[in-house]
Amino acid sequence: MDSAQIWQRYCDWLYYHPGLEFFLDISRIRFTPEQVGSLQSRFAEAFAAMQALEAGAIANPDEHRQVGHYWLRAPELAPTPELTQAIQGCIEQIEAFAEKIHHGMIPASGGGRFTELLCVGIGGSALGPQFVAEALAPQHPPLNIHFIDNTDPDGIDRVLARLAGKLGQTLVIITSKSGGTPEPRNGLVEVEQAYQKAGIPFAVHAVAITSPGSKLEVQARQAGWLEVFPIFDWVGGRTSETSAVGLLPAALQGIDIRALLAGAATMDEATRVPEVKRNPAALLALAWYIAGQGQGRKDMVVLPYKDRLLLFSRYLQQLVMESLGKSHDLKGNRVEQGIAVYGNKGSTDQHAYVQQLRDGINNFFVTFIEVLQDREPGIPSPFVEPQVTSGDYLSGLLQGTRQALYENGRDSITVTIPRVDARSVGALIALYERAVGLYAALININAYHQPGVEAGKKAASAVLELQRQVIEVVRSHAGSLTLGQLAEKVGSPERIETLYFILRHLHANGREIQLIGDPGCPLDLKIQARPT
């Protein structure tokens, strides 16, 4: 194609939404009109499936659940008046609570207003709030946000060290839809202990966001925590940013949650249009499908050219990969679907891996995220070269990379937003949620369950059970044992490798067990109880 044809293709396929000042360009994905035509009937089915989902169908058949995250920003569309009321009530509850915290009507136990916010949660209970905090938190927020999103003791220590001396001014949110995920439970135990050590009551600092009736809710109510906010059954973790999961931390940081919801609602309207060319989420799904031949053969590299959007790719990683990475389709055929997502930000990544993107293995397509506004209005941009600002550079580098990749047979999508504000971020979240839903319908998979995650969780609890057994056996044995003898004694010779990992970890942490000998020769090691 010559430059005039490429330009014509750009104009033909450009999507623009005037209300959101949002552009989407998929012209640099090399698809043919025939390919688009061949997907028309599948798209018709996908639009119908999405309509049924929004009307309250059981769109997550394995878990027998409705999928209602779109109702969160258009409560009037929820299938019953009770649900409409529950959604609206939750938003009002969030706003009222944030106001009381901001104005010191709920005072910190250390006196005065809360100044810090510690969010404990993992996966969908952390990634959205982290992305939104990075993108939208004001320079001087009413509460400074911190996250514990793992069960890494050192990671927890680092966060608690930052809060040293400030626990009395810290509001703690524990977020877990199930209320039983081990990582946030562990975070909660360690944070509670930190409060105890500091002699500060925990309950008057604590808030839960969880499913009604969960273990976490029961604990919060029994202990008299400040408040409990609901996560509705029909909201999945990875699509929970516009529920209390995302809205509460955002409101507490002074982010305009009504604007976030309005941006998402406007994008939802735009992505309900049952015509591919006029629906930006359908255009994205089309581009993904064609780029990866409907089998995820190409990875999605997400490159926002804006520091504030750094965590967007991480957020999308869960949204896309946990939704689309499935072994079977809805008919029970083994399909092993998915699209791998990675990326950080441009132009920084240009000095990291863009070399491979341009010249190396062609197993990806890029999504450039362009932000038109360089910096806050009113702040002048100095020239870094004659007539050129830093922002011009950023824009030039995005365009240059897009062009250089295309010239070398590498495809890309470009999403353009006017500025990083609550409205645009809400729109981006809604855009990708719908694109994932439509793509899942095209490839006929359930995007709303995550059975694969369970296998790792089950295996982990079996490891911990084995560890308990091992400690007991070694403690009650006089003298030392070899690894083989220990494996026999615990009745798990087939799990000798797991045993070795357990022992090495206990030894390294000065725990109940000692290893004597060369750690590089596991079979020669002597295992004994550590003297107390």
- 245 near 124, Cβ under 8 Å? yes
Binding pattern for the stretch 313-332 against ligand F6P, x by CB under 6 A and - elsewhere: ---------x----------
What residue is closest to ligand F6P based on CB? 237
Closer to ligand F6P by CB, 125 or 186: give it.
125
What is the secondary structure of 95-152 as a DSSP string?
HHHHHHHHTTSS--TTSS---EEEEE--GGGTHHHHHHHHHH--SS-SSEEEEE-S--
Closer to ligand F6P by CB, 123 or 280: give it.
123
3-state secondary structure of 210: strand
- Please confirm, yes or no, whether 457 is among the known catalytic residues: yes
Q: Order of strands across the sheet with 227-230? A: 144-148, 116-120, 170-176, 206-210, 227-230
Selected binder of ligand F6P within 66, 176, 323, 412 (CB under 6 A): 176
Does 450 engage in binding with ligand F6P (CB under 6 A)?
A: yes
- The string over 425-444, giving b where at least 16 C-beta atoms fall within 10 Å of a residue's C-beta and e elsewhere, is bbbbbbbbbbbbbbbbbbbb
Distance CA 470, CA 472 (A): 5
Does 125 engage in binding with ligand F6P (CB under 6 A)?
A: yes
Beta bridge partners of 514: 528
Stretch that binds ligand F6P, among 97-105, 172-180, 377-385, 482-490 (CB under 6 A): 172-180
Does 516 engage in binding with ligand F6P (CB under 6 A)?
A: no
Q: CB 529: neighbour CB atoms within 10 A?
A: 18
| Residue 450 CB, nearest approach to ligand F6P (Å) | 5
Does 123 engage in binding with ligand F6P (CB under 6 A)?
A: yes
Selected binder of ligand F6P within 17, 73, 177, 423 (CB under 6 A): 177
Stretch that binds ligand F6P, among 86-94, 120-128, 136-144, 372-380 (CB under 6 A): 120-128
| Residue 256 CB, nearest approach to ligand F6P (Å) | 25
Rounded to a whole number, what is the distance in angstroms from the first to the last CA of the chain?
76
| Residue 383 CB, nearest approach to ligand F6P (Å) | 46
Closest-CA residue to 232 (of 214, 249, 250): 214
3-state secondary structure of 202: coil
Selected binder of ligand F6P within 27, 130, 170, 181 (CB under 6 A): 181
Distance CA 288, CA 335 (A): 17
| Residue 235 CB, nearest approach to ligand F6P (Å) | 10
Does 122 engage in binding with ligand F6P (CB under 6 A)?
A: yes
- Please confirm, yes or no, whether 92 is among the known catalytic residues: no
Q: Are strands 22-25 and 15-17 parallel, antiparallel or unpaired?
A: antiparallel
Among 64, 351, 385, 494, the one annotated catalytic? 351
| Residue 173 CB, nearest approach to ligand F6P (Å) | 12
Selected binder of ligand F6P within 28, 73, 205, 238 (CB under 6 A): 238
The CA distances from residue 130 to 40, 141, 375, 464, in Å, are 37, 14, 21, 30
Closer to ligand F6P by CB, 121 or 142: give it.
121
Closer to ligand F6P by CB, 75 or 124: give it.
124
- What is the Rg, in whole angstroms, of the alpha carbon atoms belonging to the chain? 26
| Residue 131 CB, nearest approach to ligand F6P (Å) | 13
- Please confirm, yes or no, whether 166 is among the known catalytic residues: no
Selected binder of ligand F6P within 11, 96, 453, 462 (CB under 6 A): 453
Residues 6+ apart with CB under 8 A from 218: none
Closer to ligand F6P by CB, 239 or 401: give it.
239
| Residue 492 CB, nearest approach to ligand F6P (Å) | 27
Stretch that binds ligand F6P, among 16-24, 53-61, 166-174, 176-184 (CB under 6 A): 176-184
Could you give the count of Cα atoms lying within 13 Å of 502 in the half-sphere of its Cβ?
24
- 160 near 166, Cβ under 8 Å? no
Does 178 engage in binding with ligand F6P (CB under 6 A)?
A: yes
Among 103, 197, 457, 458, the one annotated catalytic? 457
Beta bridge partners of 172: 118, 206
Distance CA 45, CA 53 (A): 12
Question: Which residues are annotated as catalytic?
Answer: 322, 351, 457
Give me the residues that bind ligand F6P (CB under 6 A), please. 122-125, 176-178, 181, 184, 237-238, 322, 450, 453
